[in-house]
Amino acid sequence: MENKKLAIASDHAGYGLKNFLADHFRKLGYEVTDLGTDSEKSCDYPVFAEKLADFIISGGADLGILCCGTGIGMSIAANKVPGIRAAACSDTFSAKYTRLHNDANVLCLGARVVGEGLAAELADIFVTTGFEGGKHARRVGLITGIEKREK
């Protein structure tokens, strides 16, 4: 099952890749919401990670894609928002199995790590792969339990 509503955001390092992927998915018929940034001017990636994560949680999109230099900073920031399971991926196996087994809802890509062709392939796999459920649903539930832990 394909998710047709996507949100995408980046910092300055991922700006070009974000625009490339937004165009790629629009051409494939996806509804893409671009949440910024809107230039290569230096900016703070956590602002855009949080903005996209909140948009996903509010139901604005089914899945999200975040782009920065490595994908790692964005994934760390986005994962601070309860309900977000963001994964930095740079290979096809991880992009597939983070959806199948982890029910990840945000893909994080590093513009300095993957080129446009591989990024498109990873993102295509991510958005067209569904969650397998079963024993993995129990494990995702355990992750949700950690999120809800009272301090």
Crossing angle between the packed helical segments 116-128 and 15-27, to the nearest 10 degrees: 50
Active-site residue, selected from the candidate residues 12, 43, 67, 68: 68
Q: Determine whether 101 is an active site residue.
A: yes
Return the DSSP state at 10: E
Q: 10 near 48, Cβ under 8 Å?
A: yes
Q: 31 near 73, Cβ under 8 Å?
A: no
3-state helix, strand, coil in the chain (%, to 5): 45, 15, 40
Active-site residue, selected from the candidate residues 24, 43, 101, 136: 101
Tokens of 60: 């604005």
- Residue count (the chain): 151
Classify residue 146 by burial, with Cβ atoms within 10 Å: 0-12, 13-18, 19+: exposed
Q: Determine whether 67 is an active site residue.
A: no
Positions marked catalytic: 68, 101
